[in-house]
Amino acid sequence: MTRIIVTGADGQLARELARLSGSSECAECEFVFARRAELDITSRQSVSSFLDAHPTDVIVNCAAYTAVDRAESDATAALRVNSEGVANLACEAAERDVTLVHISTDYVFDGSARVPYTENDATSPLSVYGETKRQGEREMQASGCRGIIIRIGWLYSAEGHNFVRTIAAKAQTESELRVVADQWGTPTWAADLAAAILHIVPQLKGRDLRGEVFHYADEGETSWWELADTIVGMMRSECVVLPITTDEWPTAARRPEYAVLDKTKIKSWFGVDVPDWEVSLERCLRQMNVYRD
Ligand SMILES: NC(=O)c1ccc[n+]([C@@H]2O[C@H](COP(=O)([O-])OP(=O)(O)OC[C@H]3O[C@@H](n4cnc5c(N)ncnc54)[C@H](OP(=O)(O)O)[C@@H]3O)[C@@H](O)[C@H]2O)c1
């Protein structure tokens, strides 16, 4: 039996892990889902007490400060969660020989590449959020704890705050939407990522991985505009999606122009199955009851 604690239990990814935790593939796993009120990762004391009360083999860290624009004027809070919080988890994990699976982001890159980023490419975040996530990765690596870092692309699910839900809601009320067409990346359905994590966790046993980085996103690449246009198309909405440039949609945080991740390593090391982003988008929209045949 593998005992797994999932932090940030109210978030998009954690909720997909909870959904899968009851499936037959997880019969050998015992889960504890910890919400922020029960386990605040910014407090070493909170982490330590929680782990005393719930001895575990693995921690999947889904807790994060994810408000990318707000982080620009709230750097201290973002740093506390995304860097100090990871350090607290990693140090406790190192002391207890617990394996940490930590989630990071494509926003650690500056987006100047034109081919998918590999794990060996240099990081150079453009935003406070990206910088705090990079520091979190470094804290985990410095702790020497067992485990892996999975950098992921644009995350969405049928619940929570995300681009897919925003566009799906607007497509039902607006006749026209303007969406940035010069930023490229790959959407990641949280359900696919959750399945990948649960596929990987049993394989970490007996492998001495410490802070090894992997990339995950669904297969393919697209722009925010094309993603929005595809959502609207799948919904058979009359709403028109107009492409605009990043300059026409100013935001507090700068985002990478090209944030596509190379998944070769995670596929070859762990045999992870990576679905095509459009196939997964359709499945998510069906789950939301907005897909129209
Ligand atoms: N969303 C994306 O597009 C995206 C892209 C790339 C990478 N990622 C990464 O993927 C991971 C999962 O993202 P997500 O979209 O599932 O995040 P999410 O929906 O924003 O959920 C994050 C959760 O963390 C919790 N949290 C915040 N501070 C905490 C603390 N101090 N202690 C414990 N829990 C805390 C939040 O609690 P409250 O609800 O109380 O705030 C929230 O439930 C994160 O590491 C994120 O950086 C996300």
Question: What amino acid is encoded at 271 in this protein?
Answer: G
For residue 40, give the ligand 1 atom closest to its CA: 32
Structure tokens at 169: 């809601």
CA–CA separation, 201 vs 183, rounded Å? 32
CA dihedral 10, 158, 196, 113 (to 10 degrees): -100
Q: Give the residue ranges of DSSP H helices in the chain.
A: 12-21, 44-53, 75-79, 86-96, 128-143, 163-170, 190-204, 224-234, 264-270, 277-287
* Rg, Å, the chain Cα set: 19
Residue with tokens 């969406």: 179
**Three-state secondary-structure class, residue 59:** strand
Distances (CA, A) of 169 to 8, 12, 175, 282, 286: 25, 18, 12, 15, 14
- The phi and psi torsions of 152 (rounded to 5 degrees) equal -125, 165
Contact 66 CB / ligand 1 (< 6 Å): yes
For residue 154, give the ligand 1 atom closest to its CA: 3
CA–CA separation, 161 vs 165, rounded Å? 7
Kindly give the distance from the C-alpha atom of residue 236 to the centroid of ligand 1, in angstroms, as a whole number. Answer: 31
* Whole-prediction pTM: 0.97
Contact 152 CB / ligand 1 (< 6 Å): yes
Kindly give the distance from the C-alpha atom of residue 64 to the centroid of ligand 1, in angstroms, as a whole number. Answer: 4
Contact 85 CB / ligand 1 (< 6 Å): yes
Asked if 110 contacts 159 with a C-beta cutoff of 8 angstroms, the reply is no
Tell me the β-bridge partners of 154.
none
Strand 240-244 and strand 176-180: the pairing is: parallel
Structure tokens at 189: 């359905």
What is the structure's pLDDT at 276?
97
Strand 184-185 and strand 222-223: the pairing is: antiparallel
One digit per residue, pLDDT tens: the chain, 293 residues?
A: 999 999 999 999 999 999 999 887 788 899 999 999 999 999 999 999 999 999 999 999 999 999 999 999 999 999 999 999 999 999 999 999 999 999 999 999 999 999 999 999 999 999 999 999 999 999 999 999 999 999 999 999 999 899 999 999 999 999 999 999 999 999 999 999 999 999 999 999 989 999 999 999 999 999 999 999 999 999 999 999 999 999 999 999 999 999 999 999 999 999 999 999 999 999 999 999 999 98
Asked if 79 contacts 120 with a C-beta cutoff of 8 angstroms, the reply is no
Kindly give the distance from the C-alpha atom of residue 207 to the centroid of ligand 1, in angstroms, as a whole number. Answer: 27
Structure tokens at 47: 């982490």
Q: Which fold has domain 2-161+187-219+256-275?
A: Rossmann fold (3.40.50)
CA–CA–CA angle 19, 20, 23 (5° rounding): 120
